Amino acid sequence: MIQNNETPNDKLDQLRRENEEKKKEIAEKYGVISLNNSTEHDLPPEIESVFLNHIMAFEDAYSSANPILLYDYVERPAYRKVEDLTDEELTEELNRLTGLLYKYQIILDTICDVSERELYRFITEELFFKEIDDMHIQGMNTRFIYEEFHPNHEHDIRQHTHDFIYSYLDKENDFYMHFLTSEAEKADWHLHFRQAFSSFQLNSFSISKLHFDTDKANVQIACDIVGEIEGSVESLYFSGVGELSLLYQWGFWCVDSLKLPRS
């Protein structure tokens, strides 16, 4: 009788060796060198093996995939024009089409509220005629976001204004720089005020007015800020109305200038 004396540690060591071979194969075949030592200290060998298998399956499929219309990818389902549907019919048809897309591992998400009629129109008049790679990998989805095709500028401006103010007043890092236009990043207006204080306390913040077109935006803010003066026990209070101007650059709304209320 042959006994198997392999221990659990032996199996893990063997799996680690197999994972290293997979990494080498991926790097040699596809030039993905960043996988080396990128996951071995973070993932258990079993999970890392599954991850590497997915990478190999994706790269193999992608290397031989041809472009195809999404409508052909989902095997050309029958559908009616959006204007021919009642509201009740539209809900049923939208559920049918989104279920069909999901069957083919295609997911449509929205960031903001979008009407059912607009979503149906978007699927049948735009998404169906977008080219994708003709590849099927079990467990991997293709995800589309409606706002990537039709940006909701008001939502983005409000979100970027909010994120910028909170980041700008956080002295722990300089992440706020990522919200600036290229021109503002080179300027120093955002440095002087920030460097004059050791810390900030934001008591309240809200957007009171917002105007925008396709290129620029003006945002009025109501805020109450306390700034602790560097090297002093004194504080300054900034309460009232401030203003931000934003420009649309690189497909994002970026802060170009900031005026805070006077102390």
Centroid of chain to Cα 218: 24
**For each successive 10 residues of the chain (263 residues), what is the average pLDDT?**
63 80 75 52 75 69 77 97 97 98 97 98 98 83 95 97 97 95 94 92 96 96 93 89 96 96 85
Strands 197-212 and 216-229: antiparallel
On whether the CB atoms of residues 240 and 231 are closer than 8 A, the answer is no
Question: Judging by DSSP bridges, how do beta strands 252-259 and 235-249 pair with one another?
Answer: antiparallel
Q: Are residues 175 and 167 in contact, defined by beta-carbon separation less than 8 angstroms? A: yes
Quote the pLDDT of residue 18: 80
Q: Which long-range contacts (CB under 8 A, 24 or more apart) does 189-195 make?
A: 189/257, 189/258, 190/258, 193/260, 194/168, 195/230
Residues in Cβ contact with 234 at an 8 Å cutoff, skipping those fewer than 6 apart: none
Buried b (16+ CB within 10 A) or exposed e, 153-168: beebbbebbeebbebb
Contact 203, 224 (CB under 8 A): yes
What pLDDT sits at residue 176? 97
**Which pLDDT belongs to residue 26?**
75
With contact defined as beta carbons under 8 Å apart, do 244 and 221 qualify? yes
pLDDT of residue 170: 96
Rg, Å, the chain Cα set: 27
pLDDT on residue 38: 47
pLDDT of residue 204: 96
Rounded to an integer, what distance in angstroms lies between the CA atom of residue 115 and that of residue 140?
28
Residue 216: left (phi > 0), alpha (psi -120 to 50), or beta? beta
Tokens representing residue 92 in the block: 């049923």
